[in-house]
Amino acid sequence: MKRLLLMFSVALMSVMTLHAQTTDEIISRMEAEYEAHQSEGVIMTMDIKVALLVDVSTRIMSLGDKYCATIADGSTVTWGDGKTTWTYDLHKDEVTIGNATADSDASGSVSVLKGITAGYKVKLVKETSQAWYFKCKKLSSNKNKDDIKKMELVVDKETYYPVSMTSKGLLVSVAIRDVSFGVTEDQVTYNPALYSDAKIIDKR
């Protein structure tokens, strides 16, 4: 009986070790795939919900320092190149030009996916034929105040791309989803010819 229990314990430890290794391998592969394709340009959707006040989805395309962020209903489109931003308001038919700031740089949302689990304890909580589902908890050793305490991460089994990353607070919920790659220069460059009839407001 003791020998049987010992064999069972060894087998259980082996399975647990394999599971831990598999989790690390999945995350490492995901980060490697993201790094390998980031130079091609990143596409993602960001959903932001603030209690009952705000519920908006934005499609973001980023290539190098350039980006284009479009509100889901198409009412607002913003382009940036790291120095200047151009924001088109469909309802007012206006283009507002301004100097880029850290707050106005939507490409920062894309860089959030770099080293996505650094400083977190990652646990595999669910697995389907299409994806792995992880819960990530901020480590006590992680002193970065900007890092959220908890997040949920979904990784595609076929591509190893991050399918979604979600963080939920008492009032605020932020989700990044539908991540893919392949952006052209034209897609992230403001073209004034397309808005020749719009009113231009230059605030630089």
Q: Domain of 144: which CATH number? A: 2.50.20
The DSSP code for 72 is T
DSSP structure string for 139-187: -TT---TTS-SEEEEEEETTT--EEEEEEE-SSEEEEEEEEEE---TGG
Tokens of 18: 């394999």
Residue 79 included in any domain: no
The 10s digit of each residue's pLDDT in 108-127 is: 566 666 777 888 899 999 99
Structural domain for 121, as ranges = 2-72+101-185
- Minimal CA–CA distance to 153: which of 129, 170, 171, 137? 137
Mean pLDDT over the full length of the chain? 83
The DSSP code for 13 is H
* Angle (CA) 136 140 141, round 5°: 105
The 10s digit of each residue's pLDDT in 75-115 is: 999 999 999 999 999 999 999 999 988 766 665 566 666 77
Dmax over CA atoms of the chain, in Å, equals 85
Domain count, the chain: 1
Residue 190 included in any domain: no
Residue 78 included in any domain: no
